[in-house]
Amino acid sequence: MSDIFDELQWRGLVAQTTDESALRQALADGPVTVYCGFDPTAPSLHFGNLVQLVVLRHLQRAGHRVICLVGGSTGLIGDPRPTSERVLKTKEQTAHNVGRIRDLVRPFLDFEGDNPALLVDNLDWTAPMSAIDFLRDIGTHFRVNQMIRKDAVATRLASEQGISYTEFSYQLLQGLDYLELFRVHGCTLQTGGSDQWGNITAGVDLIHRAEGASVHALSTPLLEDSSGTKFGKSEGNAVWLSADMTSPYAFYQYFLNIEDSSVVRLLKVFTDRSRDDIDALGRLSEEKPFLRDAQKALATDITTLVHGTTLAAAVQTASDALFGKGDVSVLDPATLLDATGELPGAQVVVGTSVVDALVAVGLVDSRNAARRAITEGGASVNNVRVTDPEQLLALTDFLHGRVALLRRGRKNLAAARLG
RNA sequence: GGCGGGUUGCCCGAGCGGCCAAUGGGAGCGGACUGUAAAUCCGCCGCGCAAGCUACGUAGGUUCGAAUCCUUCACCCGCCA
């Protein structure tokens, strides 16, 4: 068994661990059972969760037993955020999200074969437990003095808004999960984002008190760009893993647009590429940045991992066609339709104003904004800049009589389809 | 329960009767711009072509005129019980 810990560390996936040498030893000694939880706070997982899935994937490939937990109960409570109280999700919403997340996780891990990953829902052991049992059996092991020192809780206690008892209790629930998985499955490692460290160690402490056993924890670093902004936001929206929330095209584009100074780091985190391969891409990026080969490799690999080979190839073709040097009006019909098929868009008729078309396809929020974009020189039809805010779409604007390519700024594209 | 302070646009935060669609900062958007990168500079940033409309926690009121004054309710913070 190769040293998986070194591998994770080299890839930049390790922020903190409980006892590094003990964890290294455990991983080297044989299969360890590891779990990571995902709360169903939304109908999809997002970029941040992808890091956790990648960690589990590496561990499973290294021969360790992987448990993927969906937080059917913790999702009902809500992990305290440092900023403000969450709006509680209904039980129906949460149950629906649990179902969606179960499906999303499947492509990342192997659920068949000799070392199948396990999928569990913490509602299964939390729901049957009475409040009295919870307080007596679990609560007794927690000191409030320690609980209020956890980062997220401390921040909220110091804030104007305070923190509800509901969210305050969150760490007990997550601790209970680890304890349960330790007892039932012999789970001795929990992974999660560094923002989860407090909750993760709550479980480590609980197992120590309740069972007298020492277990491990590993957190991954928060991924930020050069200006200190978290990765995973595109135009203010989260980058989701579900195709119906972030289109594969937008997903691919997000990674293609990663700044040069971060691309190597993200290649290490998200792709399976070797050290040599990534070094080579890094050098290429420094010497010939205009080729954008590192970004292309990153975008292709992640899109393939999340959306599969077929969709990844389709969005890549689309991107090449739409951003290539060639004139879009000479694209053959098949390429044009494939490429624009991945774009957001809407149906319009001949004679629709460019302003209305920009609004219809969602490139701008209002007709005022559309006029503004045109006035600023930031709008084009088939890559020809529009200068007249009153311009209408003519039949000849619809390439092959089918679709007009609308663009706002350099990289926001949409298709106006003749309907 | 009592007293005091607060609630402003995506976020922070000024404004304290007309000059307020509301100063400033951040975020975001467009252009210069090359590489679908970064940095920098300039511009934009409620809806509406416009007249105008809707917005400063909620609901009323005073006034020719309110984000600004009064009252109701809700929520938050502090001190006291």
A365 CA → B28 C1’, Å: 13
Distance in angstroms: CA A263, C1' B11: 28
A211 touches strand B (CB under 7 A): no
- Least confidently predicted of A7-16, A17-26, A138-147, A329-338: A329-338
Amino acid at A359: V
* Closest nt by CA–C1' to A375: B30
Closest nt to A229 (CA→C1')?
A: B27
Closest protein CA to C1' of nucleotide B27, residue? A236
Mean of the pLDDT values across residues A316-344?
Answer: 82
Mean pLDDT of A344-370: 93
What is the spatial distance, in angstroms and rounded to an integer, between the CA atom of A163 and the C1' atom of B9?
27
Q: pLDDT band for position A245 (50/70/90)?
A: confident
Distance from residue A362's CA to nucleotide B20's C1', rounded to whole Å: 31
pLDDT at residue A170 tops 60? yes
pLDDT at A2 over 80: no
Q: pLDDT digit string (tens) for A373-406? A: 999 999 999 989 999 999 999 999 999 999 999 9
pLDDT of residue A235: 62
Nucleotide nearest to A316 (CA to C1'): B36
A83 vs A358, more confident: A358
**How far is residue A282 CA from its own chain's centroid?**
24
Higher pLDDT, residue A1 or A331:
A331
C1’ B68 / CA A83, Å: 30
- Please tell me the predicted confidence (pLDDT) of residue A105: 92
Crossing angle between the packed helical segments A47-61 and A260-270, to the nearest 10 degrees: 40
Q: Which two tokens stand for residue A410?
A: 């350099």
Statement: the CB of A99 is under 7 Å from strand B: no
CA of A92 to C1' of B72 (A): 36
In this prediction, residue A1 carries a pLDDT of 44
- A97 CA vs B11 C1’ separation (Å): 28
What phi and psi, each to the nearest 5 degrees, are found at residue A407?
Answer: -135, 135
What are the φ and ψ backbone dihedral angles of A416, each rounded to 5 degrees?
-100, 110
* Distance in Å, residue A192 CA to nucleotide B35 C1': 36
pLDDT band at A238 (very low <50, low <70, confident <90, very high): confident
pLDDT given at position A83 = 67
Please give the nucleotide, over all strands, whose C1' is closest to the CA of residue A389: B49
Average pLDDT, chain A: 89
Nucleotide nearest to A325 (CA to C1'): B36
Range 40-79, chain A: CB under 7 Å to any strand B atom: none
User: For strand B, which nucleotides have at least one atom less than 7 Å from a protein CB?
Assistant: 27-32, 34-39, 43-50, 76-78
Nearest Cα to Cα of residue A33 among A11, A54, A10, A59: A59
- The per-residue pLDDT for A267 is 94
Q: Which of residues 274-333 of A touch strand B (CB under 7 A)?
A: 289-290, 292, 295, 319-320, 322-323
The secondary structure of chain A, three-state, reads CCCHHHHHHHCCCCCEECCHHHHHHHHHHCCCEEEEEECCCCCCCEHHHHHHHHHHHHHHHCCCEEEEEECCCHHHHCCCCCCCCCCCCCHHHHHHHHHHHHHHHHHHCCCCCCCCCEEEECHHHHCCCCHHHHHHHHHHHCCHHHHCCCHHHHHHHHCCCCCCHHHHCHHHHHHHHHHHHHHHHCCCEEEEEHHHHHHHHHHHHHHHHHHCCCCEEEEECCCECCCCCECCEECCEECECCCCCCCHHHHHHHHHCCCHHHHHHHHHHHCCCCHHHHHHHHHHHHHCHHHCHHHHHHHHHHHHHHHCHHHHHHHHHHHHHHHCCCCHHHCCHHHHHHHHHCCCEEEECCCCEHHHHHHHCCCCCCHHHHHHHHHCCCEEECCEECCCCCCECCHHHCECCCEEEEEECCCEEEEEEEC
**Cβ contact A369 with chain B strand, < 7 A:** yes
